[in-house]
Amino acid sequence: MTTFSGPIWLRYIPANIRRRIEGRTNLHSIIHNTGWLLADKALRLGMGLLVGAWVARYLGPSQFGELAYVMAFVAFFQTISLLGLDGIAIRDIAREKNASPAILGTVLWLRLTTGFICWFVAVAGMAMFRPGDTHTLILTAIISGSLIFQAADTIDLWFQSQTQSKLTVFSKTISYIIASGLKVWLIVVKAPLILFAAVSLAELALSAIALMVAYRQFPAPFRWAWDVVWAKKLLRESWPYILSSLAIIVYMRIDQIMLREMIGVRELGVFSAALPLSSTWYFIPMMISQSIGPTVARKKISDPVGYERSITQLFSLMWWTMLPLSVGIALFSQPIVALLYGSAYKASAHVLAIHVFANIPVALGIAQGIWIINEQKNILSLSKTVIGAISNVLLNLFLIPKYGALGAASATVIAQLISAVLSNIFLAPAIFKKQIVSISGWRN
């Protein structure tokens, strides 16, 4: 009888694939880590769509649009409070393990401080932006509380660097299930809109607590510490990523703000109902990048040829994961929307059929992000996303008055394509070539 060594899941895959990956412990770790992330996102996809659709049905397009408006507004500050440090911190931990205490401790304190500041600015900004709208101001004050609690996601940076994402999955899944249960209960008792906002904040608070508990199960072999030198180093490199992330939020969220101001809250509700069905899939390229990122960073130093090959293969993987998915959802958009949202959101099906194709350029952009971080071309990242943001605003100004929610969806897809792919014609021709060539399939 032959003894089998390796992870348990390896026993249950086809023999020809198993032979190719046996003994490749680094690859096993990536697959295992990706599997946990996939399981988490699959649960969120299923539960999120069902509960989210139920909430949308209960609130109706107008109230649902009001909630979406506040969340879009707060999203700008969430981006600032994260400080664009995720990719940089993971890369530096992978390269300089001895510096991990200073990196993690510094990131945590920077995010906590920025979170408090952003909460205050978000509330003050809404008071100035919509004077006299007390209801919207209260919703903003509640939802923007998440800016403080998300500093706990710094713990996830440690787990990611050690390919231990299952601990993050456990933590966030528990809080997500509890929050989803609370939303269902609020629907049953016919609760007002403000309590749904409170549940969104409670989910982030529970997630922060769960992450701290998980950290006790897999603690770092050192004590985190604030370090001024690392703070300056991280912020010096991260500021273009902060601006870049803001630009991304502009062309991901500005359409919701502009729809509310140019057309009305009901049209925003119709548009926002389609977003979870199309943008939920962004987790796939993000999950792949999180799992592969540390390995690519090490290849950059030890295997330059393998590094270049892995970037091309990553683009190919993104194409052939997101293209069939987008086409399939577009073809079945009408029955999907009818089943989940009902007749009040009938127009959302057409929005979904267009908006879902943003998945393709988004995936290609995320893949290029790994290359940008390892090449330390942060200004390139900023340039590309600023181009995308400007494109989206201009396209929205032209398309929303004529086509409403359909115009906003079209603007998003075109702006994503310009930012992630077409801008590379001038800014990074070698990457543009990889993006185009890689569509023909996987290359060794």
Structural domain boundaries of the chain?
Answer: 29-440
* More confident site: 129 or 86: 129
Q: What per-residue string of b and e applies to 340-354 under the rule 16 or more CB within 10 Å gives b? A: bbeebbebbbbbbbb
- HEC per residue, 215-262: HHHCCCCCCCCCCHHHHHHHHHHHHHHHHHHHHHHHHHHHHHHHHHHH
- Average pLDDT for residues 89-118, to the nearest whole number? 81
pLDDT of 386 over the 90 cut: no
Task: Give pLDDT, residue 4.
Answer: 47
* More confident site: 431 or 252: 431
Give the Cα separation of 243 and 245 in Å (integer): 5
Report, in this order, helix, strand and coil percent for the chain, each rounded to 5: 90, 0, 10
Task: Give pLDDT, residue 21.
Answer: 53
Does residue 196 contact residue 67 with C-beta atoms inside 8 Å? yes
pLDDT of 31 over the 80 cut: no
- Average pLDDT for residues 145-152, to the nearest whole number? 84
pLDDT of 62 over the 80 cut: yes
pLDDT of 6 over the 60 cut: no
Tokens 């530096």 correspond to 92
**Of residues 413, 421, 420, the one with CA closest to residue 395:** 413
- Whether the predicted model's global pTM rises above the 0.75 cut: no
